[in-house]
Amino acid sequence: MDCVCLPNAVYLFIKFQACDRDLQCGGDMCCAVSLWIRSLRMCTPMGNLGEDCHPWSHKVPFFGRRMHHTCPCLPNLACIRISPSRFKCLPDFRNEDVFF
C-alpha cells in the first residue's frame, strides 16, 4: 500500500485547528472566532505587517474568549487607523522612538 503525503494539508490542519483559548495555539497565534462559523474558534496567526486588525483585540495570551475574527498584531507592530473604519498592522512608531 502506498502512502500519499500531503504536507500542505497537514500544515493547514495544524495552523487552523479548533480551540477555545489562546494557550491551545502555537507561538504567534491566538484563538479567534471563525469568519464562517461564529460559534467556532480557530488558531489564527497574529497580524503581520500590512494585514487588517481590530483595535480592541486583547494581547496574547488572553485568558478569556475572543469575540473577533482577527488576532492582535505581532509584538513589533501596532493596530493603526488608516481610514475612519479601517485598521492595519503597521510599525509602532512612538514619540520616544524618534531621536533628533
Q: What is the CATH number of the domain that holds 55?
A: 2.10.80.10
| Tens digits of residue pLDDT in 53-87 | 998 888 888 888 888 888 999 999 999 999 999 99
Is residue 28 assigned to a domain? yes
Is residue 79 assigned to a domain? yes
Is residue 36 assigned to a domain? yes
| Tens digits of residue pLDDT in 32-51 | 998 888 789 999 999 999 99
Contacts of residue 59, defined as CB under 8 A and 6 or more positions apart, other chains included, come to: 72
pLDDT band at 92 (very low <50, low <70, confident <90, very high): confident
Is residue 87 assigned to a domain? yes
For residue 80, what is the enclosing H or E element?
strand 77-83
Is residue 97 assigned to a domain? no
Is residue 54 assigned to a domain? yes
Is residue 52 assigned to a domain? yes
CA distance 33 to 58: 13
Is residue 18 assigned to a domain? yes
Domain assignment of residue 85, given as a range: 7-92
**Per-residue pLDDT at 66:** 86
Give the total number of structural domains in the chain: 1
